[in-house]
Amino acid sequence: MSKLNKIVIRTKRQIFSEMISNNPSIFEGEGFDFSELREYEYGDDVKKIDWNITAKRQKPYIRVFNEERELNIVVVALMDGSLNFGSKEFKVDILAEIVALLGFSAIKNSDRFSFISYCKSGEFIVRGSKNINSINSSLSFIFDSKLIGNRCNYEDLSKELFSMIKKRSIIFVLGDFFQKIDLRLLSKKHEVISIMIRDRLEEELPDLGVVNLCDPSTLNSLRTDLSKDLKREYKKRVLKIDHENFEHFRKNRISFIKIYTHEKPFSKLKKLFIKR
């Protein structure tokens, strides 16, 4: 059985059979369109208070929303060559499993599922659909992609996605986030959730002595000694990148989670959505 078929069977079973009966989807967001502002009344949800307007008018105002029956779920995969790495599972395999879980959950909940692959060679897009074929097409593209030597430039990512995705959506951005990625513009219109896929060895270099290293994104090679000083400096850089990304997410109200290659994506995603 192919890796793709194994992922489809496992994730489909998890979403359609293992989800708790009173929880029809891992999507528990509000799915609302903004309607109007009105003065706060006793009993209103304080979470809906618009603090900017409240400060200007010196009276508490809340945002009123109209419920949408259908959510737009957009999954964006950042297909950098560095995904072709893993000590337990390859990061690209974990990414594919997350895409399948999000896709099946959307379809189970009668929401529209879209997939966008962002890479050096251009975008691959699966248009919004409630059909399982959209998930199969997305997974086939992921497994057919040649990641080695593919280094993406994410400088215009937010601007391009903003112009591409017209209707308000829940957007999942999947990647290993070893670069600082600006999602500020995207978060102004959409609900954005970042899912960072990592392997433990990328954050804690092992004691291997002199090794030959090759960057799967650039194909640059290096022969070096993994000394204590080098490992300490490397870890410091990784922590700096993560800190910058996490601060950016918090500042722009972007939910985020880190999933390692030895972890079960289904369990981690359920925990993420319980907190929302």
Residue written as tokens 């993406």? 152
pLDDT computed for residue 147 by the predictor: 87
Please give the structure tokens belonging to residue 178: 């070893």
Q: What is the pLDDT of residue 19?
A: 58
Residue 245 main-chain phi, psi, to 5 deg: -65, -45
Which pair of tokens denotes residue 263? 């972890």
At 85, the amino acid letter reads: F
pLDDT at 275: 65
pLDDT at 186: 94
Cβ contacts of 196 within 8 Å, gap of 6 or more:
175, 176, 177, 245, 256, 257, 258, 259
Question: According to the model, what pLDDT value does residue 49 have?
Answer: 87
Q: Among 90, 83, 114, which Cα is nearest to 215's?
A: 83
Per-residue pLDDT at 237:
93
Mean pLDDT by 10 residues, the chain (276 residues): 87 78 46 69 77 88 67 93 91 97 91 89 82 93 88 87 91 95 93 96 86 82 85 92 96 95 92 73
Out of 3.90.1200.10, 3.40.50.410, 3.40.50.720, 1.20.58.340, which CATH number does the structure's domain 70-275 have?
3.40.50.410
Count other C-beta atoms under 10 Å from residue 185's C-beta. 16
Q: For residues 98 and 162, give the distance between their C-alpha atoms in angstroms, rounded to a whole number.
A: 23
User: E-strand spans in 137-215?
Assistant: 170-175, 191-198, 210-214
**Alpha carbon 33 to its chain's center:** 22
Q: How far apart are CA 57 and CA 260, in angstroms?
A: 47
Name the residue ranges covered by the structural domains of the chain.
32-67, 70-275
Residue with tokens 């960057």: 215
Tell me the helix, strand and coil percentages in the chain, rounded to 5.
40, 25, 35
Confidence (pTM): 0.81
User: Three-state SS for 226?
Assistant: coil
b/e map 45-78, b = 16+ CB within 10 Å: eeeeeeeeebeeeeebbbbeeeeeeebbbbbbbb
Residues in Cβ contact with 253 at an 8 Å cutoff, skipping those fewer than 6 apart: 187
